[in-house]
Structures are given as C-alpha cells and as structure tokens.
Structure 1
Amino acid sequence: MKQLRIHYLQHVHFEGLGLIKNWIGEHQHILTATRFYKNEKLPTIDSFDWLIIMGGPMGVNDEKDYPWLIKEKSYIRKAIDMDKTVIGICLGAQLIASSLGARVYQNPVKEIGWFPVQKSKEAIGNPLVGSLCDTFTVFHWHSETFEIPRGATRLFESSACKNQAFLYGEKIIGLQFHLEISPEAIRNMVSNGKGELAIASANMQKGDSIMAELRHYSNSNQVLNNILNKLHTKKIT
C-alpha cells in the first residue's frame, strides 16, 4: 500500500486520534497535526494526502468563542476541492457538512453513550460500507446534528438521530459517532465531560454505565479499520 501523508485537526486535548493512530502506525504512514487548543498553525493543503478532523465540545457555529472555526471550515472546503481524502468524526463530521453548505443544528435530544446505529436504505450495497453489519453498537457524544450535504449519501441512522454518517463523492466521509474510541480515550472524555453525565435517560448513559460497556470498542475498531482500508486502497468503485 502507498505510504500516506496524514494530517489531523484536534480541537481539545482529550479528543485525539484514538485507535486511528494504531492504523496509521501499522501502515507506517506519515502523521502530522494541528492542535487548535495550542494555537498551532495550519499547513499548506498540498503537504498532505488525507485530512482527519476530530471531535470536541464546541459547536460548528460557535465562531465568537472559537474564531479559528472560520478558518478551519474554509480550510476543510479547500481540502475537499483539492481532491483530498477527508474524514470527520463527530464535530469533524459537522464541520465537513457545514463546509459543504449543509445546516448544522441542535438534535432533538442529546445522545451520549453506547447505542446502536443502523445502515440506511441508501447505504445498502454502498462500496464503502455495504459489507458492514446492518446494525452495530457505537459510542456517541453529541447534542447537535447535520443535514446531509447536497449530493452526499446518508449511511447510518439511530433512533435518536436520523443523520449519523454520510459519504460525499468517493472519499469524503462524516461520522457522527466515535469508531476511533479506545478505553483510554473514553476515560478521558468521561472525566472531562462529567457535567453532562449526571442524569441518565433513554439516550444518555451515566459515566459508570459507559465504562461498563467498554467491550463494544473492539468491534468499533474493526469497523473503523474496514473503512480506512477501503479508503486507502480505493476499493470503492
């Protein structure tokens, strides 16, 4: 497989690459980063092949509090226009959607914890995700959601959130949920997000319940590797 130059955008210290870093290391790809919480600068877009955008507690439209969001959305759109592979996770997916002109807005309910997603009708037979199980359990932590960008394919849905993932073209993918999550990453998120975990509901788990279901991360990692491998080899024709 071709060695890739992969650049990722990180918004807060406790939401990093997670298990994506393992995949990158196994394939000996070149990895660089821009950490907005450290005020690091963005590189030129021709310096990488893939752009990965991570999550964070801020919203796509919180530009007054996080002015770098304006530059970041423009940067993502330029990467798409320059035919880069672009992967967004949670906030990252919302940023891709916004960069493509889709609306990002409050979901009717928060969705936090381990809950199943189902493959959408549009995704059946899709070359990128068609071979995945129709339903599997993933980790969620979001209060906002996105419209599916014009021209994109909706891939997954859940009972609490209709638009969970999309594919734009052949190599632009937005995932509302966290396939990259590792036990350590979940501990960090739970530790830094205690304020949102005080009350359980049908769509929200408390921290101890989240930690009790860590077994699901292994299957999420397999799904993630499947998607990354197909994007890498471009077996999505």
Structure 2
Amino acid sequence: MTDILILTHIDYCPPGYLAQVLEEAGRDFSVLRVDRGELDGYDLDRPLAVAIMGGPMSVNDDLPWLATEVAALQHFIRRDIPMIGHCLGAQLLARALGAEVRRMPYTESGWQPLRRIGGGADSPWLAHLPVEFAIFQWHGDSFALPPGAQPLLSSRWCENQGFAWGDKILAVQGHPEMTEDLVRLWLEDWAHLLDERQPSQQSVAQMLDQLPARVAALNQVARGFYRHWLDLAFP
C-alpha cells in the first residue's frame, strides 16, 4: 500500500499523464482495478490522496462493485482527503455526494472548449488556466451538481463540466489524463462508436489534427490540477 491511491475500472482508462506527474514528483502510488474486486478488503484509512479514473460503464449500471466504490468514496469524503475524479470518476464523486447522474441525449467527444463559470474565477484548482481552454472529452452521461458544490466549468454540450466540493475535491467531466498514445488507442479501438455527423462529436481526423500540440497543452491543464491535489495532500 502507498499513500496515493488510483482507482481504475478498465484496461484502456489507466492513470495516463497522472502517473507521469507522480513519477516526476517521486511519489509512489497504488493502482487498483475496482471492477475486479481489488478494492475489497483495502484499508480505506490508509491513502492520503485518491484519484478516480474513467470507464465506459455508467454509474447507473447494475454492477455490484459500483456500490462498493461509492461507499469507499463516501468514506474518503468523511476523512476529508484530497480527491480528483475524471469522467466516470467525477460522476462517481457526484453520486457519492448525493447528486444525480443521467444519460445525455448525445455523446460529447473530441477536443472541446471549456469555460470558467461560477466560482471558477477564484478557484485554486483553476489558478493556472485561462478563461477558456480545451480538454479531451468522451462521455454520454453527465452529473448534476451535488448539494454545496461550487460549479467551475461548462461547455456548449454539457452544462456541468466540473465542480469543487469543499476545498479538497475536484470533479472533471473530461479527460485531462490523456496522452498521445491513449488518444490513438481509443480512436483505433473505439472509433466505430462515434458519429461525426453529430455536432457534439468530432471526427477522428479532427481529433488527431495537431495531436502533439493539443496533448502538450492538455498536459499543462492536467499538471495544474495534479500539483494542487498533491499540495493539498502533502503540504
């Protein structure tokens, strides 16, 4: 066990760039596959920081391990430790905090612009970011805001793109953890799920256009999130 716990749910949604940031910072971390039961029996009082990654499943699916994970997140919330959720991970945090997660009438995918809203102007989670920036998206569900949450981000296709809860929890609907290899992997294996005729979805060509530059910019977005998360856990 280590002081940093990363929860994953499928092979192709790994920590990605988050792992690189942690390795550069010299921080050891543990990665658990919750869908394989690896959270069962884990000492929930051990981690000092938790990250929750994405996955293709819905929070509303009838999967027993989802209830186990939500209960674990509620335990971490009571412990008041820093947490950051990515896509499904953000939806799981919303559910753990009492909010609804619902299916959208379309899928939002590709490099989509986000804008700050509400408390986003003053949030330390966004201190490194301009008013508008792009993030990689691929989701068909969306979370409502939990009671007491501070709305931070929005997009044309999804009103609630990010929220903070208290001073130690960040939920982001997009995928700041993406690397070039991950983007290419997703597009090689799952492009058949996309429909570029839908205005909320980019074509594969659009997603790959200027990919190194787009990922480099996304890395800076993610690095700010991850550094603040680490600073909260290890001041």
Q: CA deviation at 1:34?
A: 1.1
Q: Which residue of 1 aligns with 2:191?
A: 194
2:166 to 144, 153, 169: 169
Write the distance in 2 (CA, Å) between the matches of 1:38 and 1:190. Answer: 25
Unaligned runs of 5+ in 2: none
Partner of 2:87: 90
Which residue in the other structure is 2:58 paired with?
59
Contact 2:164 / 2:170 at 8 angstroms: preserved in 1?
Answer: yes
Contact 1:112/1:141, CA 8 A, preserved across alignment:
yes
Letter in 2 for 1:158: S
Alignment of structure 1 residues 94-113 onto 2, 5 Å: 94-113=91-110
Bigger CA drift: 159-168 or 200-209? 200-209
The within-5 A match list for 1:178-189 is 178-189=175-186
Q: In the aligned structure 2, how far is the partner of 1:9 from the partner of 1:93?
A: 12
Structure 1: stretches of 5+ with no match in the other structure:
none
Deviations 1:195-237 (A, max 9, x none): 31244321102223212242211111111111222232249xx
User: CA offsets per residue over residues 131-172 of structure 1, 9 Å max, x none?
Assistant: 410001110000110111111111100001110000001111
Matched residue, 2:216: 218
Comparing 215-224 with 226-235, which one deviates more in the overlay?
226-235
Structure 1 match to 2:204: 207
Give the one of 12, 27, 39 matched to 1:41: 39
What amino acid is the match of 1:98? R
TM-score, normalised with respect to structure 2:
0.92
Using the TM superposition, give the Cα deviation of residue 73 of structure 1 relative to its aligned residue in structure 2, in angstroms. Answer: 0.7
CA distance in structure 1 between the aligned counterparts of 2:35 and 2:77, rounded to whole angstroms: 24
Instruction: Give the structure 2 partner of residue 25 of structure 1.
Output: 23
**Segments ≥4 residues shifted beyond 4 Å:** none
User: Are the counterparts in 2 of residues 138 and 217 from structure 1 also a CA contact under 8 Å?
Assistant: no
C-alpha distance in 2 between matches for 1:100 and 1:121: 19
Cα offset, 1:69, TM superposition: 0.5
Give the TM-score normalised by structure 1: 0.91
Contact 2:13 2:54 in 1 (8 A): yes
Q: Aligned residues: percent identity?
A: 30
